[in-house]
Amino acid sequence: MILVNQLQLYAKQILNDYDKKKPSVLFKNNINITVADAYKIQSLVTELRIKRGEKVIGYKIGSVKKQTQKKYGFSHPAWGRLWENELHFDGAQLNKNNYSNPAMEAEFGIKFKKTLKPENINLEYILDSIETIHPIIEIHNLIFYGKKPHGAEHISNNAINAGIVCGAGVKKPKVNEITDLKLIYDKKIKDEWTDKIWPLDVMSKIEWFVKEQAKMNNIIKKNDLILTGAYGPPIPIDDVNLIEVHSSLFGNVSANFK
């Protein structure tokens, strides 16, 4: 077991590297930590960021597919925090130099209209608590330096989240409405999914996530934004500039990377 003092040193270096736009350099040293240690590091980094004035505005759920979990050595989905200073909106102009191998995912995000009560948690209650659903571009620093399967490195680096671009929200549709989701690079479809059912396919891991947070006395609050999990992997943008996400049910969002 790694001592708290060592985890605190790791957290400080991870944040320092992130601030320098050189994430995950720590893992070049092949440090040996568990996924449980990695979540502790993520929480310690969170404390450091809050202490200097940053604000958590929600969470991302990742690695929702079993094959992705196996790739990273997980037995369940992953999660990370979303930060107010890394929240961008439709039409955002962003700089590739602020990221390390920037890679995008198309996602849905849900915003809550009230603070959730842990004792009431079930899917129906969660659905009743939703204010709006948003199309999301999730930005990742797709970089790993440590040994495979990279699970602990992934979690230590906030599930490799580097920000989001959030589209305008829409109210909840009726149950069993169908949507598609497209990730588009410079007007060419890079990845797409069809016949996704609301809420079954969109909300499949939300109840699990909310219950996991409640175990840690981490309550999902009014106005928190939760990314529900991507259907495909993050795709590097390379020399692409215009990123778009389209959903027939939940709308569109775009960003330009220069």
**How many domains, in total, are found in the chain?**
1
Q: Is residue 145 part of a domain?
A: yes
- Read off the pTM: 0.96
The arithmetic mean of pLDDT across residues 107-131, rounded, is 95
Measured in residues, the chain has a length of 258
Q: Is residue 6 part of a domain?
A: no
Which pLDDT band holds residue 103 (cuts at 50, 70, 90)? very high
φ/ψ of 142, rounded to 5, equals -85, 80
Give pLDDT, residue 3: 79
Q: Is residue 26 part of a domain?
A: no
Q: Is residue 67 part of a domain?
A: yes
Percent of the chain with pLDDT over 90: 95
Q: pLDDT tens-digit profile of 180-212?
A: 999 999 999 999 999 999 999 999 999 999 999
The arithmetic mean of pLDDT across residues 217-225, rounded, is 96
Q: Which domain holds residue 136?
A: 57-257
Residue 177: pLDDT over 90 = yes
Q: pLDDT tens-digit profile of 43-97?
A: 999 999 999 999 999 999 999 999 999 999 998 999 999 999 999 999 999 999 9
Determine the distance from the C-alpha atom of residue 86 to the mean position of all C-alpha atoms in its chain, rounded to a whole number: 12
Q: Is residue 33 part of a domain?
A: no
Q: Is residue 50 part of a domain?
A: no
Structure token pair of residue 12:
């400080």
Give pLDDT, residue 1: 61
Give the contacts of 156 (CB within 8 A, at least 6 positions apart): 10, 14, 24, 26, 27, 33, 38, 41, 42, 45
Residue 171: pLDDT over 80 = yes
The arithmetic mean of pLDDT across residues 125-139, rounded, is 97
Give pLDDT, residue 58: 98
Residue 2: pLDDT over 90 = no
Residue with tokens 């996991």: 212
Give pLDDT, residue 30: 85
Q: Is residue 105 part of a domain?
A: yes
Q: pLDDT tens-digit profile of 230-245?
A: 999 999 999 999 999 9
Give pLDDT, residue 144: 97
- Scored b (16 or more CB within 10 A) or e, 122-151 reads eeeebbebbebbbbbbbbbbbbbebeebbb
- Round the average pLDDT of the chain to a whole number and report it: 96
Task: CATH number of the domain at 188, please.
Answer: 3.90.850.10
Structure token pair of residue 171:
């109210």
Which pLDDT band holds residue 4 (cuts at 50, 70, 90)? confident
Structure token pair of residue 109:
């995000």
Q: Is residue 98 part of a domain?
A: yes
